């Protein structure tokens, strides 16, 4: 058999068809929990279920305001005896390592309450030395929330670039919530306890009018509105010009509005046009992106989707 015969034979052969579900998985891609974490989760679930059957689940051992103080009081939280005890134990069990803490809270009826179960997250960190490879998983520690609403991570000391987070698991009831965690660069020493930014679950903002695919009148200064969200103090509205080409879409950022949340939860074209780098024109399509912030300027939530609207005279 000659090499040409081999090539012809191989070219005539077929590889297996992927299962249909793979297409669905790829078209609605969400990071999946690693199989190992699933197995670990399942074992914890079984263990947890057994414990629960013996003793009813207890509420957080301390009131929420003690566990999750406002940002300004974060340093004092490092003296929290329960948190300190747990951090000390982790340090003893992991000599030479650093301990990172993320407080996890959910925004419910105007209050930030600790999320005490069902949450896990991997922090993605890259050493500051060397050039990052965007195609490689930077890796990082994984932690799960405890009954006080704190997730602990054991990290190798060093200086890191914050790259993001991964493998976020959340209770079923919060699946549709927006998850926000601001990751930052990090420098930790051996044995150090470092409290990072809070992780926040909050219900999403929702567009009200016009509906998707609707239009805004330039002449009557049309406005785009969203459902009231009393906990928010500021909003940021990004707007882009969307143009369809034969084989692609182009998105051109025109500007961003950031300011106090309007009382009527509506922003008008005239408020945006002054911020736009180019004048609005009838017939073009704009995409709007809406985010909400609390009084401390922390991003809390956003809409699930951008809204595309047509501008008319």
Partner 1 sequence: MIEVRMSAPSTPDLGGLYDRVGRRLYAYALSLTGDASRSEDAVQDAFVRLLKYAPGRDVKSLEGLLFATTRNLILDDRRRRDVRRHAPALLPLAQPSGEPDDEASRALGKLPEEQREAVVLKIYGELTFAEIGEVTGTPPGTAATRYRMAIEKLARILSRNEP
Question: How far is C-alpha 236 from the chain's CA centre?
Answer: 17
Shortest reach from residue 205's CB to partner 1, in Å: 21
Residue 52 binds partner 1 (CB under 8 A): no
Query: Per CB under 8 A, which region of 13-21, 109-117, 200-208, 219-227 contacts partner 1?
Result: 13-21
> Could you tell me which of 250, 254, 202, 249 has the C-alpha nearest to residue 229?
202
Q: State the alpha helices, DSSP H only, in 55-153.
A: 64-67, 74-77, 81-93
Residue 23 binds partner 1 (CB under 8 A): yes
Burial class (CB in 10 A: 0-12, 13-18, 19+), 161: middle
Cβ proximity of 185 and 120 under 8 Å: no
Shortest reach from residue 291's CB to partner 1, in Å: 18
Cβ proximity of 96 and 191 under 8 Å: yes
The correct pick among 31, 84, 159, 304 for binding partner 1 (CB under 8 A) is: 31
User: Across the strands, what pairs with 170?
Assistant: none
Residue whose pair of structure tokens reads 């070219």 in the numeric block:
11
The correct pick among 46, 96, 237, 248 for binding partner 1 (CB under 8 A) is: 248
List binders of partner 1 among 184-213 (CB under 8 A).
Answer: none
Residue 228 binds partner 1 (CB under 8 A): no
User: Across the strands, what pairs with 202?
Assistant: 178
CB atoms within 10 A of CB 12: 7
Tokens of 193: 């306890």
In angstroms, the CA 39 to CA 243 distance is: 46
Cβ proximity of 225 and 196 under 8 Å: no
Shortest reach from residue 163's CB to partner 1, in Å: 11
In angstroms, the CA 274 to CA 313 distance is: 18
Element (H, E) at 301: strand 299-302
Residue 92 binds partner 1 (CB under 8 A): no
Residue 281 binds partner 1 (CB under 8 A): no
Query: Per CB under 8 A, which region of 3-11, 52-60, 90-98, 121-129 contacts partner 1?
Result: 3-11
The correct pick among 85, 137, 221, 278 for binding partner 1 (CB under 8 A) is: 137
Query: Per CB under 8 A, which region of 54-62, 96-104, 192-200, 250-258 contacts partner 1?
Result: 250-258
Cβ proximity of 172 and 119 under 8 Å: no
At a CB cut-off of 8 Å and minimum separation 6, what does 102 contact? 121, 123, 143, 150, 151, 153, 181, 195, 196, 197, 198, 199
> CB-wise, 5 or 93, nearer to partner 1?
5
The correct pick among 2, 76, 131, 175 for binding partner 1 (CB under 8 A) is: 2
Residue 274 binds partner 1 (CB under 8 A): no
Residue 53 binds partner 1 (CB under 8 A): no
> CB-wise, 39 or 51, nearer to partner 1?
39
Query: Per CB under 8 A, which region of 113-121, 130-138, 179-187, 222-230 contacts partner 1?
Result: 130-138
> CB-wise, 3 or 110, nearer to partner 1?
3
Shortest reach from residue 29's CB to partner 1, in Å: 4
Binding string, residues 70-89; x marks residues near partner 1 by CB under 8 A: --------------------
Residue 130 binds partner 1 (CB under 8 A): no
In angstroms, the CA 256 to CA 245 distance is: 24
Residues forming contacts to partner 1 in the complex (CB under 8 A) are 1-3, 5-7, 9-19, 21-23, 25-32, 35, 134-137, 245, 247-253
């Amino acid at each position: 058999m000659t090499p040409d015969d081999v090539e012809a034979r191989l070219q005539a052969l077929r590889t297996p068809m992927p299962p249909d579900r793979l297409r669905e998985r790829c078209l609605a891609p969400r990071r999946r929990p690693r199989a190992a974490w699933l197995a670990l989760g399942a074992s914890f679930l079984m263990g947890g279920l057994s414990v629960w059957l013996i003793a009813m689940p207890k509420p957080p051992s301390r009131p929420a305001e003690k566990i999750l103080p406002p940002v300004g009081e974060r340093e004092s939280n490092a003296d929290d005896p329960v948190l300190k005890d747990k951090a000390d134990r982790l340090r003893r069990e992991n000599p030479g390592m650093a301990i990172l803490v993320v407080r996890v809270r959910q925004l419910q009826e105007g209050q930030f309450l600790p999320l005490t179960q069902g949450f896990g997250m991997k922090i993605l960190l890259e050493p500051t030395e060397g050039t990052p490879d965007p195609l490689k998983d930077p890796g990082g520690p994984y932690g799960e929330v405890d009954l006080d609403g704190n997730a602990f991570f054991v990290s190798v000391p060093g200086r890191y670039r914050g790259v993001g987070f991964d493998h976020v698991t959340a209770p079923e009831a919060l699946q549709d919530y927006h998850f926000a965690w601001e990751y930052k660069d990090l420098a930790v020493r051996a044995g150090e306890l470092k409290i990072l930014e809070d992780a926040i679950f909050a219900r999403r903002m929702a567009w009200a009018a016009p509906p998707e695919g609707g239009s805004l009148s330039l002449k009557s200064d049309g406005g785009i509105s969203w459902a009231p969200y009393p906990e928010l103090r500021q909003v940021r509205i990004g707007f882009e010009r969307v143009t369809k080409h034969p084989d692609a879409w182009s998105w051109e950022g025109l500007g961003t509005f950031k300011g106090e949340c309007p009382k009527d939860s509506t922003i008008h074209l005239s408020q945006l046009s002054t911020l736009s780098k180019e004048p609005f024109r009838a017939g073009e399509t704009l995409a709007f992106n809406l985010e909400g912030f609390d009084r401390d300027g922390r991003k809390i939530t956003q809409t699930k989707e951008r809204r595309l609207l047509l501008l008319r005279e």
